[in-house]
A and B are shown apart, each in its own frame.
Chain A
Amino acid sequence: MPDTTAKTTIELRILRYCPSTDTEPAFGSFQVPYSDDMSVLQALQEIKATLDGSLAFRWSCRMAVCGSCGMMINGEPKLACNTFLRDLAPGPVTVEPLQNFPIERDLVVTVGDFVKKIESIYPYVMPKVPKTVEEGTYLQTPSQMEAYASFADCINCMLCYAACPQYGANPDFIGPGAMALLQRYSSDSRDGGQQARLDQIRGEDGVWSCTAVGICSEVCPKQVDPANAVNQNKSNSALDFFLSGLRKESVT
Chain B
Amino acid sequence: MDFFNADILVLGAGGAGLRAAIAAAQSAPDMTVALVSKVYPMRSHTVAAEGGSAGVVRADDSLDNHFNDTVEGGDWLCEQDVVDYFVGHCTREMIQLEHWGCPWSRQPDGHVNVRKFGGMKVERTWFAADRSGFHILHTLFQTSTKFPQIRRFDEYFCVDLIVDDGRVQGAVVLSPATGEFTAIRARAVVMATGGAGRVFRQNTNGGIVTGDGMALAFRHGVPLRDMEFVQYHPTCLPGTGILITEGCRGEGALLVNKDNYRYLQDYGLGPVTPEPRNKFMELGPRDRLSQAFWQEERKGRTVTTPQGEAVLLDLRHLGAAKLKERLPLICELAKSFAGVDPVTAAIPVRPAVHYTMGGILVDIDTASPLAGLYAAGECSSVGIHGANRLGSNSLAELTVFGRVAGEQAAAFAKAAPAADARSADQARAIEAKALALLQQNGDGERHAALRTEMAVSMERGCGIYRLGPEMQQTCETIAQLKQRYQHVALEDRSRVWNTDWIGAIELGYQLDVAEAMAHAALARKESRGAHQRLDGFDKRDDANYLSHSLAHYQEGAAPRITAQPVKITRSPPGQRAYGALGEQLEAARKDATHA
- The interface of chain A, by Cβ under 8 A from chain B, is 1, 3, 5, 18-21, 35, 37, 48-50, 52-54, 56-68, 82, 104-106, 108, 111-112, 115, 118-119, 123-125, 127, 131, 133, 136-142, 144-145, 148-149, 152-153, 155-156, 181, 185, 188, 190-191
- The interface of chain B, by Cβ under 8 A from chain A, is 39-40, 42-45, 47-48, 92, 95-96, 98-101, 103-104, 106, 108-112, 131, 134-135, 138, 142-143, 145-146, 154-155, 177, 201-202, 206-208, 239-240, 242-243, 306-307, 329, 332-333, 336-337, 446, 448-449, 452, 490-492, 494-500
Residues of A within 8 A of B146 (CB): 124
Question: Separation in Å of the B127 CB from the closest CB of chain A?
Answer: 13
Whether A66 pairs with B47 at a CB distance below 8 angstroms is yes
Question: Separation in Å of the B334 CB from the closest CB of chain A?
Answer: 11
Which of these, B40, B48, B145, B206, contacts A124 with CB under 8 Å? B145
Given contacts A53-B491, A66-B42, A111-B154, 10 further A-B contacts (CB under 8 A): A3-B307, A48-B499, A56-B497, A63-B243, A66-B43, A67-B42, A111-B40, A123-B145, A137-B104, A155-B134
- Complex: how many Å from CA A142 to CA B128? 12
Whether B43 pairs with A149 at a CB distance below 8 angstroms is no
Contact A60 to B208, CB < 8 A, known contacts A137-B99, A149-B103: yes
- Complex: how many Å from CA A61 to CA B206? 4
Whether B307 pairs with A62 at a CB distance below 8 angstroms is no
Whether B47 pairs with A141 at a CB distance below 8 angstroms is no
Question: Separation in Å of the A29 CB from the closest CB of chain B?
Answer: 18
Q: Could you list some 26 contacts between A and B, CB below 8 A? A: A20-B495, A48-B500, A53-B448, A53-B491, A54-B494, A61-B47, A63-B242, A64-B333, A65-B47, A65-B134, A66-B39, A66-B44, A82-B336, A104-B497, A106-B497, A115-B40, A124-B143, A125-B101, A125-B143, A133-B99, A137-B95, A138-B99, A139-B111, A142-B106, A152-B138, A155-B47
Which of these, B109, B240, B491, B496, contacts A1 with CB under 8 Å? B240
How many contacts A-B (CB < 8 Å)?
A: 168
Whether A141 pairs with B135 at a CB distance below 8 angstroms is no
- Complex: how many Å from CA A3 to CA B240? 10
Contact A50 to B240, CB < 8 A, known contacts A21-B494, A66-B48, A66-B206: no
Whether A54 pairs with B491 at a CB distance below 8 angstroms is yes
Which of these, A54, A181, A188, contacts B492 with CB under 8 Å? A54
Residues of B within 8 A of A57 (CB): 499
Question: Separation in Å of the A65 CB from the closest CB of chain B?
Answer: 5
Whether B48 pairs with A65 at a CB distance below 8 angstroms is yes
Contact A133 to B96, CB < 8 A, known contacts A37-B307, A123-B145, A141-B110: yes
- Complex: how many Å from CA A111 to CA B208? 18
Which of these, B242, B337, B448, contacts A49 with CB under 8 Å? B448
Interchain residue pairs A-B with the least CB separation, the first 8: A139-B110, A54-B492, A49-B448, A53-B491, A105-B497, A60-B206, A123-B142, A125-B101
Which of these, A18, A118, A144, contacts B494 with CB under 8 Å? A18
Residues of B within 8 A of A156 (CB): 40, 42
Question: Separation in Å of the A79 CB from the closest CB of chain B?
Answer: 10
Residues of B within 8 A of A65 (CB): 47-48, 131, 134, 329
Question: Separation in Å of the A75 CB from the closest CB of chain B?
Answer: 21
Residues of B within 8 A of A53 (CB): 446, 448, 490-492, 500
Residues of A within 8 A of B44 (CB): 66
Residues of A within 8 A of B337 (CB): 37, 63, 82
Whether B154 pairs with A56 at a CB distance below 8 angstroms is no
Which of these, A19, A63, A155, contacts B496 with CB under 8 Å? A19
Whether A20 pairs with B42 at a CB distance below 8 angstroms is no
Residue of B nearest to A5 (CB): B306
Whether A141 pairs with B109 at a CB distance below 8 angstroms is yes
- Complex: how many Å from CA A3 to CA B306? 8
Contact A127 to B99, CB < 8 A, known contacts A65-B131, A137-B112: yes
- Complex: how many Å from CA A65 to CA B475? 35
Whether B101 pairs with A185 at a CB distance below 8 angstroms is yes
Whether A119 pairs with B145 at a CB distance below 8 angstroms is yes
Whether A60 pairs with B45 at a CB distance below 8 angstroms is yes
Question: Separation in Å of the A110 CB from the closest CB of chain B?
Answer: 8
Whether B110 pairs with A144 at a CB distance below 8 angstroms is yes
Which of these, B95, B110, B449, B499, contacts A56 with CB under 8 Å? B499
Which of these, B243, B332, B449, B500, contacts A54 with CB under 8 Å? B500
Question: Separation in Å of the B132 CB from the closest CB of chain A?
Answer: 11
- Complex: how many Å from CA A216 to CA B154? 26
Residue of B nearest to A222 (CB): B332
Q: Which interface residue of B131, B336, B449 has the most chain A CB atoms within 10 A? A: B336
Q: Which interface residue of B42, B143, B242 has the most chain A CB atoms within 10 A? A: B42
Question: Separation in Å of the B155 CB from the closest CB of chain A?
Answer: 8
Whether A48 pairs with B145 at a CB distance below 8 angstroms is no
Contact A37 to B306, CB < 8 A, known contacts A50-B448, A141-B108: yes
Question: Separation in Å of the B128 CB from the closest CB of chain A?
Answer: 9
Question: Separation in Å of the B165 CB from the closest CB of chain A?
Answer: 36
Whether B48 pairs with A63 at a CB distance below 8 angstroms is yes
- Complex: how many Å from CA A111 to CA B99? 29
- Complex: how many Å from CA A177 to CA B500? 31
- Complex: how many Å from CA A168 to CA B591? 72
Residues of A within 8 A of B111 (CB): 137, 139
Which of these, B99, B201, B307, contacts A131 with CB under 8 Å? B99
Whether B154 pairs with A48 at a CB distance below 8 angstroms is no
